Chains A and B, each alone.
Chain A
Amino acid sequence: MKRMSDQAPAKHKEDRPAPDDHLDQASPTHRPLDLPAVRAQLQSKTGKQYWRTLEELAGDPNFEELLHREFPRQAPSEWDDAVDRRDFLRLMAASLALAGLSGCGRAPEQYIVPYVKQPDGVVPGNPQFYATAMPFGADAIGLLVESHEGRPTKVEGNPDHPSSLGSTNAFAQASILSLYDPDRAQTVTKAGEIQTWSQFLDAAQALAATFRSTRGEGLRILTGIINSPILAADLQTILTLYPSAKWHQWEPAVGDGTREGAKLAFGSYVNTVYRPENADVILSLDSDFLASGPGNVRYMRDFYKRRKLNGPGDAMNRLYVVEPTPSVTGSSADHRLPLRSADVEQFARALAAKLGLGGSGKLAPDADKWLDAVVKDLKKYPRRTLVLAGEQQSAEVHALVHAVNNALGNVGITLYYTEPAEAHPVNHLDSLRELCVDIDHGKVSALLILGVNPVYTAPHDFDFAAKLRFDEKRKGKRIETVIYVSPHFDETAQYCDWHVAESHYLEAWGDARAFDGTVSVVQPLIAPLYRTHSLHDVLAAFTDKPGLSAYDAVRDRLKAANPSGDFEKFWRKTLNDGVVAGTAFPAMNASLKFNPASLSPAKESSSGELEFLFRPDPSIYDGRFANNGWLQELPKPVTKLTWDNAALVSPKTAQDLKVTHSIPSRGGEHGQILSDVVDISISGSKVTAAAWILPGQAEGVVVLPLGYGRKKAGYTGTNKGFNAYAVRASNALWAANAPSSVIRKTGDDYPLACTQYHFNMEGRHILVSGTLDEYHNNPNFAHEHEELPPRELSLYKGEAEFPYARNKWAMAIDLNSCNGCNACVIACQAENNIAVVGKDQVMRGREMHWIRIDRYYTSTLSATGPGGGLASGKSTGDPSEYQPALDNPDTFFQPVPCQQCENAPCEQVCPVGATVHSAEGLNDMVYQRCVGTRYCSNNCPYKVRRFNFLRFQDWETPQFKLMRNPEVTVRSRGVMEKCSYCVQRIDKARIDADKKDQPVPDGAIITACEQACPSQAIVFGNANDPNSRVAKLRTQQRNYQIMPELNSRPRTTYLAAVRNPNPELENA
């Protein structure tokens, strides 16, 4: 492959941030990643290897430089003007001397503003918690929201809610930032002019009156998935009042396969609820059930219940995943088979055939062998297995999976069927198409769009913008009145007549159904910050009860459903619990009316073609969270990219397409990766994207994550990444096949911010993993190659100085339960007022997350066959050969917060005593002492310290002042910060216990990360208390320290990951 450095220097597009010329001159080397060289390297290595980036695997010298520098050889980037840093300091010193004392005058007066009448139950200084729920697609996550004197500041899971059980996901955690988003639409507008709500109501009722006479002819409503009973009732009322009106639905990131598959299998729409805790063997066909789709938070808890090991005698479930691109679920599988999306259907057909259900599927020989082993394993555990199909898979795959689960006897044990949780299941693509056709035929005179953004998300061949905007040919608009309700003035809003700013779920009453049918009342915590209204308020204007508030609507509905008894008491209990008791759907009998043999033959994938897949982005979903800085800066679970999406390609496809990426050698700006830019022309449209090489992706698959490239998302979300919707056509909604010639390298490169190049730890014993058999045979495997220096061998006085008489805080993280879902990262950010720094700063390695999740790849390499891990046969040295280390490596995730070392290296080098040991074993970080030498960070072997290079916090925007946790200092520029084990929560629990003269009970302190973790991988507590959960975990043999040879004695320990591979596949 030709080296890019031989060619002309990379050209940068004008609209992209160009690197500083000064820096490029300083270090001219520009080595792109050379994949054949990586393959050759792999063939010469032996033994089990862990690595995080391809460059690390390749032994790239630029990577070595990153490794050795905690802080990049710093670019004087903040000092762009003629005054350089040295001059600046000199000037500052002089002016300080002149200024004398004026710089430290006494603090200005502050005022105390008490209530006039203090509300009942409010104790100033003590937060309150209210139960509510966050509606999301066909699910709702039950929450307890913390409120400080009326300001919601933090979201936690509701232990009584079935889809939460006390945990949350990253979206729910980040929703608090969406509430305070300063870019939200703030009022009602008509053609961009501010209007009052009553003006809107008048217009809506006038419109409604005209439709009364025409029975609603020409009235259309477009929504996303509706799972709120009151909204469903409103819509039903409207359809009854105006019989000719129509309700359309479009949810861009949820496939119709789930719905249509159920219809194909059972003849009607049926909801499937899984019980993964009852399954011994789980096979996922491209289903990311642990991280997306209804019930994912609950499923994660249930799935990992079966992977908690107390000792080597314990058993574990086994997870097989077949998928085209690595997902959170696939990355934690025991066996993972990368297959093209089209081949997943073949796989499902072959599975049904092998179970004797008829039909046939065509598989490659190695995949067929893999399937044989899986089928044997499934048969070994009758009625104790579970097969799942992905949301993006076709109706056929879903129907086949229903048939397979039925044949395996799983129904009623590992899954059950209920009536649909969504109010009105329809085929969304057909529904949207019908709307578009009717608009074109002039059948639509008024369109109400509620909460979806069709101009951005509709298939590009529908050209939804053209439906709304002025039509030159007709000399007019196709629709007379378009009313749009959304939280932002976005891509669709600009073409609409009326725009109503939508309230956040924490601002308006409502209700929502969870994945299992349980109804929650969505209880607001704060009056609307702006003049916003709920979807119910808008719909009610068209019903016969236009003034009915959402609060009354929710109460009326519950009253009607519970006519007997004391309603007020019931209502209070419902609000307190967060769930309406007894509303979960009962399991229903669904009889299978489907014969796999009757399926018409599927389209076979042609290996010469590329398969382009559209997937919701793991961080910003379908684009609705694009303006959420926390989610934008959240490293995506597998790729660890931030602020951008990229066209994901497998290493082999990248080699074929000759796309690569390089680390610009400039002293290690840790996160900046220059990726080749490609033009992709599919489905009659074109998009320009940066390419990203993703090990473990199926060959020939290109994934285009949705949600980016927004044009009107707000300050944070606009013009980030590329818009995959632009090449998404209605006939290829989830997968498009095209010859490889549709990808063309433009010759440009594009800087991507990838955090997996940051905070590299060097040393042994960082991530430890083994198999269940290894664990059985050698329970001490986690300590095999451990070097533990004697305790005395230390400059520290150790326990003589710190006896830790009462509490000895410690954290144990079970790597067996972590799948990198990121809930903890955002929970920590919300709890600890952590700043967002922006893409440019992430590329300089300056993101501020106190807990990061490292993603490791591993494979057992062997120079003399059986070639590398799962691959069969001896290595031939052929660079195109299948190399599991690249093409399907095992993946592990390791969350790394501050290790709170007993012999903390950071403490010894701080010249001002800003990081010191506490009597309970914390490494206290004292911001007001810190002068910013960064010595501590340089000396931290775990790379967990974060420095405020600039004033990253936004101190001006008033909304953010409301959002912050008042219990945690908001840090300023020049100060080091790091994980404190949520010391504010420790202090609170300790004070509560001390007031009762009792020890802090186990479980009274739940750190933010522990609280959010759906799989309960993180456990915090007092290591001195032998009955505490953390002390018990610490006595397990799997418990190990990172880099014990340093004798830093971290308080954060890890439990080695254990996978449960099928021996039959292992030895194949």
Chain B
Amino acid sequence: MGFAVLAVLAAARSPYMTRQNITREQPVQFSHKHHVGDDGIDCRYCHTSVETSAFAGIPPTKTCMNCHSVLFNNAAYLEPVRESYRDDKSIQWVKIHRLADFAYFNHSIHVNKGVGCSTCHGHVDEMPLVFQANTLLMQWCVDCHRSPEAVLREKPEDVYNMDWTAPPNQEEIGKRLAKERQIRTTAELTSCSTCHR
């Protein structure tokens, strides 16, 4: 009986259930590897509201067409984008990073305090199709809320740097940054109402 319970719990946390590391087909097979890794486009060019809103923002078709009205403007591959722009119909992207409805995540506070994109989203610049690099389970969130020093990046521009790696003295830097940036205490960051309401 005890084994059965453990098996159920293990299954619930398996990548099958969390969809960790699973790529999915999109209406357009948009490659972050190409746009971020090869072309070096900044995250914020498309995800415009990441610094100001809870929602990082999925770019409107117009953002795609800024370039693709000129570049690859005949590629069959991009027909869904042109069709969307022509017919004024939104592209329906499959949601990859999906938190439970009762978790209210806010992008803006994380990037403003120096939590980098790649800390949660992984090496997006190496993903031809984006997949979820972490479990997004509450345990994973809380690990960081208990000790945010481990991930705080010193330079603001490093937040969007996919190649950032923790320096050897990260713990020391992180503690200083947490103090400077008035990061809330563990008790505050792990209060239920910080994320749930």
Interface residues on A, range: 35 or more
Question: Which of A107, A116, A980 contacts B84, CB < 8 Å?
Answer: A116
Chain B residues 47 to 75 lying within 8 A of chain A, measured CB to CB, are 49, 52-55, 57-62
Chain B residues 140 to 197 lying within 8 A of chain A, measured CB to CB, are 181-182, 184-185, 187-188, 191-194, 196-197
B3 within 8 A of A: no
- The stretch from B36-44, B91-99, B120-128 touching chain A is B91-99
Shortest Cβ distance from B98 into chain A, in angstroms?
Answer: 6
A800 within 8 A of B: no
A213 within 8 A of B: no
Known contacts A111-B95, A124-B57, A125-B53; A987/B197 CB under 8 A: yes
Interface pair B102/A969, CB less than 8 Å apart:
yes
Output the nearest chain B residue to A929 by Cβ-Cβ distance: B192
Q: How far is the CA of A331 from the CA of B15 in the complex (A)?
A: 63
Contacts of B102 in A (CB 8 A): 927-928, 969
| Majority-rule SS of A interface residues | loop
Interface pair A928/B188, CB less than 8 Å apart:
no
Interface pair A919/B95, CB less than 8 Å apart:
no
B112 within 8 A of A: yes
Output the nearest chain B residue to A997 by Cβ-Cβ distance: B182
Output the nearest chain B residue to A985 by Cβ-Cβ distance: B197
A961 within 8 A of B: no
B137 within 8 A of A: no
Contacts of A124 in B (CB 8 A): 49, 53, 55, 57-58
Output the nearest chain A residue to B92 by Cβ-Cβ distance: A111
What sequence of 0s and 1s flags, for each residue 909-940 of chain A, a beta carbon within 8 Å of any chain B beta carbon?
00000001111101010111000000000000
Contacts of B196 in A (CB 8 A): 924, 926-928, 969
Interface pair B61/A117, CB less than 8 Å apart:
yes
Q: How far is the CA of A125 from the CA of B58 in the complex (A)?
A: 11
A78 within 8 A of B: no
Interface residues contributed by chain B, number (CB under 8 Å) = 50
B17 within 8 A of A: yes
B32 within 8 A of A: no
What sequence of 0s and 1s flags, for each residue 101-142 of chain A, a beta carbon within 8 Å of any chain B beta carbon?
100101101111111111000011110000000000000000
Q: How far is the CA of A805 from the CA of B94 in the complex (A)?
A: 43
Shortest Cβ distance from B127 into chain A, in angstroms?
Answer: 17
Q: How far is the CA of A411 from the CA of B104 in the complex (A)?
A: 55
Output the nearest chain B residue to A917 by Cβ-Cβ distance: B191
Known contacts A116-B89, A805-B185, A984-B197; A104/B12 CB under 8 A: yes
A529 within 8 A of B: no
What sequence of 0s and 1s flags, for each residue 76-118 of chain B, a beta carbon within 8 Å of any chain A beta carbon?
0000000011001111111100101110101011001100000
Contacts of B28 in A (CB 8 A): none
Question: Which of B60, B101, B108, B181 contacts A997, CB < 8 Å?
Answer: B181
Q: How far is the CA of A123 from the CA of B108 in the complex (A)?
A: 12
What sequence of 0s and 1s flags, for each residue 953-991 of chain A, a beta carbon within 8 Å of any chain B beta carbon?
000000000000001110000000000100110110001
Output the nearest chain B residue to A119 by Cβ-Cβ distance: B60
Known contacts A123-B53, A125-B54, A983-B193; A113/B92 CB under 8 A: yes
Q: How far is the CA of A53 from the CA of B137 in the complex (A)?
A: 50
Shortest Cβ distance from A583 into chain B, in angstroms?
Answer: 36
Contacts of B85 in A (CB 8 A): 116
Output the nearest chain B residue to A113 by Cβ-Cβ distance: B90
Shortest Cβ distance from A1050 into chain B, in angstroms?
Answer: 18
Interface pair B95/A969, CB less than 8 Å apart:
no
Shortest Cβ distance from B162 into chain A, in angstroms?
Answer: 22
Interface pair A111/B53, CB less than 8 Å apart:
no
Output the nearest chain B residue to A801 by Cβ-Cβ distance: B187
Contacts of B19 in A (CB 8 A): 106
Question: Which of A104, A918, A991 contacts B193, CB < 8 Å?
Answer: A918
Contacts of B89 in A (CB 8 A): 116
Output the nearest chain B residue to A807 by Cβ-Cβ distance: B188
Known contacts A101-B11, A920-B191, A967-B197; A106/B60 CB under 8 A: no
Q: How far is the CA of A995 from the CA of B182 in the complex (A)?
A: 10
Q: How far is the CA of A117 from the CA of B16 in the complex (A)?
A: 36
Q: How far is the CA of A806 from the CA of B91 in the complex (A)?
A: 44
Q: How far is the CA of A109 from the CA of B22 in the complex (A)?
A: 13
Shortest Cβ distance from B18 into chain A, in angstroms?
Answer: 8
Q: How far is the CA of A123 from the CA of B101 in the complex (A)?
A: 20
Task: A924-B191, A995-B112 are known; give 14 further A-B pairs, CB within 8 A.
Answer: A109-B94, A115-B60, A116-B90, A123-B57, A124-B57, A126-B52, A918-B194, A924-B196, A927-B102, A927-B196, A928-B196, A980-B193, A991-B106, A991-B108
Can you identify 25 A-B contacts, CB atoms within 8 angstroms?
A: A101-B8, A101-B11, A109-B24, A112-B95, A113-B93, A114-B61, A114-B90, A116-B84, A116-B85, A117-B61, A123-B49, A124-B53, A124-B57, A125-B49, A126-B49, A806-B184, A918-B192, A919-B184, A919-B185, A920-B188, A968-B197, A969-B102, A987-B194, A995-B112, A997-B181
- 9 tightest A-B CB contacts, nearest first: A125-B55, A918-B191, A125-B53, A924-B192, A115-B60, A919-B187, A114-B58, A919-B188, A118-B60
B residues sitting closer than 8 Å to A (CB atoms) are 8, 11-12, 16-17, 19, 24, 49, 52-55, 57-62, 84-85, 88-95, 98, 100-102, 104, 106, 108-109, 112-113, 181-182, 184-185, 187-188, 191-194, 196-197
